[in-house]
Amino acid sequence: METEATLEAGEWVLNGEKYWIGNGVSGDYITVYAKTEDTDDRHGNHSLILVPTDAPGYEAEPIPEKMAYRASEQAHIVFDDCRVPAENLVGERGNGFKMVAEFFNAGRVRVAAHGIGLAAAAIEEAWDFVHEREEFGRDVADFQSVQHDLAEMRMEFESARALLWQAVDHVQRGEDAERWAAMAKAKATEVAAECAEASIKLHGGRALLNDERITRVYRDVRMPMTYEGVGAVQRDLIYRNF
């Protein structure tokens, strides 16, 4: 994290770059995480600053077409002596890391919910397809191996959803929030990927067609596994809060 902000004559002066910033081109404001303190304490040397996107020295360009999440805009942003008023500081100076860390608990629960939605879509597509297609004079759904695949998908989906509801409860009450949010995020997003993979296999060659819903689901499950921390990060948090 290299973007810096210095306080000069009642203004924050920002310099640096940011990647993968949602709505960085079309949004009116963004919240910037920047280094503001001259200290080696990585938990106390960053702050959050609200930056209007029409501020002088703010330049943003869309990141080129992505494999997935095509409806979501991400931007590459450059700050070149970008100046905003000192009162645009969000919260306390130097407290940015703690604020972001608290946000992650709620954010990871939302990502887990996203994973649950993608898993449900994968199951719906698999169910509909195998009940509408015939092979060897039988409905594809009549084959035991297909039934077992669907049963496995449903079991994993329900276990992930139950874990999500527990995580929501713990985050709302502020009890063991980090551990439960990490467990829900890792489980739900990985289950989404597993369900999408299983559904793709059941679709056979039709899964190669871009206009199939399962094809989009298969692409889109990659991102929730990545943002708000990959699975290895979630497992670090789970162990640390064991």
Q: Active-site residues: which are they?
A: 228
Q: Where do we find the tokens 């759904």?
A: 141
Phi, psi of 235 (to 5 degrees): -70, -35
The closest of 192, 184, 159 to 238, measured between CA atoms, is 184
Is the Cβ–Cβ distance between 68 and 222 less than 8 Å? yes
How far is the C-alpha of 236 from the C-alpha of 113, rounded, in Å? Answer: 21
The closest of 36, 26, 34 to 6, measured between CA atoms, is 36
Q: What is the 3-state secondary structure (H, E, C) of 45-99?
A: CEEEEEEECCCCCEEEEECCCCCCCCCCCEEEEEEEEEEEEHHHEECCCCCHHHH
